[in-house]
Amino acid sequence: MTQSQKLTVKPYRGTRDFYPEHMYLRNHMFNIMRSVAELYGYEEYDGPMLENFDLYAAKSGEELVKEQLYHFVDRGNRHVAIRPEMTPTVARMVAARIGELPRPIRWFSFPNLWRYEKPQRGRLREHWQFNIDILGSDSVSADQEIIEVAIKIMLKLGADKKDFCIHISDRRILMYFLESVLKLDPSLSAPVCRVIDKRAKISAEDFNRMLIDIGLSNGQIDEIDSYLNLTGKNLSDHPVSQSEGYAELNKLLEGLANNGMDSMCKVDMSIVRGLDYYTGTVFEMYDLSPENRRALFGGGRYDNLVGLFSKERVSGVGLGMGDVTVADFLQTHNLLPKLNPAASVHVALFDENSRLSTSHLANILRSAGIRTSMQIESARLGKQFKWANSKQIPVVVLQGPDEKAQGTVLIKEMASHNQRVVKEADLVSAIHQLLNLDV
């Protein structure tokens, strides 16, 4: 690059710059997610962005590993990958302390994840995600709790019950159908599952062609279509009602209904989830708005993942809720939060001789827990008021030579332009009253 050439100001394709207003939205979403997780007794954890390549090659799925994974050989000749998901990491971490952790383990995190994908609405190459998992419980109550957490988060974000729906299925039902009803060779089950997972994104012709390429007959494909169109009402009449997964699905639905969550859930046998480690309940939450009718996030049960690292079997169930799709949902439903100013008060600088008294006032307010910015550079008072307005700061305080001599402070309300003079000793209580802050 020559000296005259300039570096681009654009971020890498599929990534975002988070300016303060964008961080405000992300923090708004994550604070609500964190509060709900903690309400249910979950603890926060984190892990490294770099993991061994083999961690994903073992169980994450062929498409993710071959087409979406960022991976390289480091200077120590180790094959590593930038994490595309968090579940393998949490399984590895649990296995590392498998004898120390009381069961069930309730953990949540906010990992930064990377996948090499074609950027589009709701899907980028880099995103942040809320992950929440229960490990060490085989009970269907764990599946129910994870789904309830997802529903509670959406409601706390401001969504109406009619704005979204969780589509639920069970991998055990699908495997029973493929191997006991269709009589497929078990080696074909995983590739058929991957094709079914793509069904909503491809044409019927491509769907049928992909299944034929795997080795299925037209009759088997027709049976798959019939199975995928089953609902909760007619599932009991199908041979899959003999499966273990069907009994577990009914228990899950019964538990959700008991807690008033059933109106936001439905049985959908086409829900598969593309990752190979899912073994039981699988679900996806959908936005019901015609403007954004798409899956927001999903999750499910994985009973064999910790076994990659340990002889001890530890079951798990969890979900991953990405910041991109949740933000799109909030925008679609006019639920974006109103941006609050970074400071509640700005302390103006009358002149250079007032610098020490200005700093003293700012520290008085900050010591009282009031978010306060202070003028650093000398400027006309009109310019300082204009700056406070641009930052939507509701109150400006000023202490010039006359106020200093009298031990008073000028308070100006920016919206109404009302102003008054109070004693310096009464400044904090006056600001509390003006902003309706808790004393």
DSSP assigned state of 404: H
The pTM for the full model equals 0.89
Measured on CA atoms in the order 37, 89, 17, 384, is the torsion positive or negative? positive
Is residue 19's pLDDT more than 50?
yes
- Residue ranges with strand state E in 155-216: 164-170
Q: Please give the Cα distance from 287 to 264 (Å, whole number).
A: 11
Give the CA dihedral 226, 229, 232, 234, nearest 10 degrees. Answer: -40
d(CA 368, CA 373): 14
pLDDT in tens, 64-74: 788 899 999 99
Quickly state the pLDDT bin for 365 (edges 50, 70, 90): very high
Q: How far apart are the first and last CA of the chain?
A: 58
At residue 6, the pLDDT reads 84
pLDDT number for residue 439? 47
Which pLDDT does position 344 carry in this prediction?
A: 96
> What confidence tier does 243 reach under pLDDT thresholds 50, 70, 90?
very high
Burial class (CB in 10 A: 0-12, 13-18, 19+), 274: middle
pLDDT at 438 over 60: no
pLDDT tens digits along 147-205: 999 999 999 999 999 999 999 999 999 999 999 999 988 888 888 988 988 888 889 89
Q: What mean pLDDT comes out for the span 123-130?
A: 93
Q: What is the pLDDT of residues 35-64, one digit of tens each?
A: 999 999 999 999 999 999 988 887 666 677
Average pLDDT estimate for 25-36 = 97
CA distance 181 to 28: 48
Instruction: List, in order of start, the domains of the chain with CATH numbers.
Output: 20-45+94-332 (3.30.930.10), 345-435 (3.40.50.800)
